[in-house]
Amino acid sequence: MNRWETVQADFVIVGGGAAGTMAAIRAKELNPDMEVVIVEKAEISRSGAAGRGMDALNNVVVPGHGTVEEYVEAVDIVADGVLQPDITRIIGERSFGILKRLEQWGCRFPRTPEGDYIVNAFHPKGRFLVEMRGDLKKILAREVSSLGIRVYNRHPVLDLVKSGTRIAGAVALDLGTGVLKAFLAPAVLLASGGAARIGLPNTGYLHGTFDCPWCNGEAYKLGFEAGASLTGFEYTCRSAMTRDFNGPGQSTFIRHGAWLVNGLGERFMERYDPQRMERAPAGIRMRAMMEEERAGRGPIAFSFRHLPSKVIEMIEEGIFEAERPTMRAFFRRRGIDLKRTPVEVVMSEVYLCGGHGLSGLVADRWGETSVQGLFAAGDCLANPYGFLAGAMVMGEVVAERVVERAAPGPSGHDARDRIDRLRRALERHGKGRLGVSVRDFEYKFRRLVNEFLAPPKSETKLRRFLHLTEPMLKDQEDLPARDPHEVMKVFEAKAGLFCARMAAEASLFRTESRFGLYHQRVDYPEKNDAQWKTRVILSPGPEGPVVEKERS
């Protein structure tokens, strides 16, 4: 891991998920001469949160079914009033265009007998969810390839390169050869997803998480260390997951009208949000689940018995064919038949995500952070509940900005300082003086997340979390990593710990309760709109993170 190489480009994209591939495609369409490079940790035809496929575009403003204003209002409800609406509005305006592009490329959008898209309700207000089928990532990868975009698969990005105050590139590790590669360009897009491995899952498996486990907040850490700000880190998400199955379900179940029932067979959302029931904002639904469990009324399950067979078949088709084919075998082996059997769900671990929550890099309406030339899109951007369509819209928006700016040619920076710094770090990991495996290290801080950071929160618990994890910041530099794959794991764990500590800092700062379960403070149990209807911003400072309310 001592050798290094340089790759010159015009636009470097970190992460070839939904946002990254779409950004690359758009940039190349607008300027075929532009050297666009995707640097991806895995393999783009199957990587990221949408790796297997998705059974819906959760947020599309379909003409005749909703308006952009209604969409922004719906997201504002989920964000509990803490919304900077610029990016949400753009997503609303351009989401139907994304649907049309995907349809043209071969994604299938089932229609009603009248020939209309199937548009369902998932948000607390309005109808913005469109049923979708097809192998999304393979389709995106094919478009990337047909445009001649250079893709470096199995190259996790470990560091960013700056030239003065502006971005100059990114450094990745070739997992196959161990060569460090500096990708130099005047524009870099961070599109490497959210942070999945923050809390410890119910299954006990480090990678058995709700969100894509290979995305572990590296973009948040890289962006922050380069000088960008973060927001929404006190919005510590948890979702409902099918017990013992690593995959989704709740959005599919809810939009088709499944009921959440407790162990007594009661439709318990009546107690917590009688108007919106299962369509209550996620944080309220999760708080309801937790309170039912605490009161001894678990286990919690989705019940389908009241639904017509046609609807159940639609649910099965979406999950089994598009999103999670292994679920069919899982249900069969467990004897689960949706027409008769409820599906037990558990609460997922804590995670941080822009597309599924509020956490992300702060950027302007073109996705540019406060570091010139450094952009963010998708789950690593603060694009509240942007989901898939939001990731792809912002990928396109960033690409358009980069092409419009186009200061082509090499950045003139050689990245030697970053390479030297990385080499020293890798050498130290090679010695591995800590003598604790990265797996045990990660297990330890994630156990602490469950105990002290997962909601309900309090000042005492949050301070305890920061205190107990402080020595780990030093320890992590001596984690053993003897091959490129272990190096990747170490960098993932470091990013996870960084994100968890940022979440504790932001959670301490917001001295009120908001977002249902997600920021429930037992020492400040009330919502305080007068003081706190604003975003919490974390910025890098000379002595550590500076936490403050957003300046208007």
Ligand X SMILES: Cc1cc2nc3c(=O)[nH]c(=O)nc-3n(C[C@H](O)[C@H](O)[C@H](O)COP(=O)(O)OP(=O)(O)OC[C@H]3O[C@@H](n4cnc5c(N)ncnc54)[C@H](O)[C@@H]3O)c2cc1C
Residues in touch with ligand X (CB under 6 A): 14-20, 39-42, 47-50, 54-58, 156-157, 191-193, 210-212, 214-215, 218, 248, 251, 355, 378-379, 387-389, 391
Could you check whether the bond before residue 299 is cis, i.e. omega within 30 degrees of 0?
Answer: yes
* CA pair distance 248, 244, nearest whole angstrom: 11
* CA pair distance 234, 453, nearest whole angstrom: 10
Between the CA of residue 410 and those of 32, 150, 369, 420, 482, what are the distances in Å?
Answer: 17, 16, 21, 20, 33
* CA pair distance 145, 166, nearest whole angstrom: 30
For residue 302, the cross-strand partners are 260, 343
* CA pair distance 139, 62, nearest whole angstrom: 22
State the minimum distance, in angstroms, from the CB of residue 529 to ligand X: 28
- Closer Cβ to ligand X, 21 or 513, answer by number: 21
Q: What's the per-residue H, E or C state across 169-204?
A: EEEEECCCCCCEEEEECCEEEECCCCECCCCCCCCC
State the minimum distance, in angstroms, from the CB of residue 215 to ligand X: 5
97: number of Cβ within 10 Å: 14
State the minimum distance, in angstroms, from the CB of residue 231 to ligand X: 16
- Closer Cβ to ligand X, 80 or 379, answer by number: 379
- Closer Cβ to ligand X, 192 or 359, answer by number: 192
* CA pair distance 214, 49, nearest whole angstrom: 9
- Closer Cβ to ligand X, 31 or 209, answer by number: 209
State the minimum distance, in angstroms, from the CB of residue 520 to ligand X: 23
Query: Euclidean distance between the first and final Cα of the chain, in Å?
Result: 46
State the minimum distance, in angstroms, from the CB of residue 2 to ligand X: 21
State the minimum distance, in angstroms, from the CB of residue 377 to ligand X: 7
- Closer Cβ to ligand X, 10 or 323, answer by number: 323
Residues 189 and 228: beta-carbon distance below 8 Å: no
- Closer Cβ to ligand X, 83 or 353, answer by number: 353
State the minimum distance, in angstroms, from the CB of residue 197 to ligand X: 12
| Residue in the structure block whose two tokens are 């929404």 | 232
State the minimum distance, in angstroms, from the CB of residue 145 to ligand X: 15
Q: Which two tokens stand for residue 477?
A: 């530099």
> For ligand X, which residue has the nearest CB?
17
Three-state DSSP state, 90: helix
* CA pair distance 134, 500, nearest whole angstrom: 35
* CA pair distance 219, 190, nearest whole angstrom: 6
| The 11-14 sheet, strands edge to edge | 150-152, 36-39, 11-14, 187-190, 374-376
State the minimum distance, in angstroms, from the CB of residue 14 to ligand X: 5
Nearest CA to 347 out of 199, 204, 209, 240 is that of: 240
- Closer Cβ to ligand X, 214 or 498, answer by number: 214
203: number of Cβ within 10 Å: 17
- Closer Cβ to ligand X, 140 or 448, answer by number: 140
- Closer Cβ to ligand X, 55 or 486, answer by number: 55
- Closer Cβ to ligand X, 375 or 532, answer by number: 375
State the minimum distance, in angstroms, from the CB of residue 528 to ligand X: 30
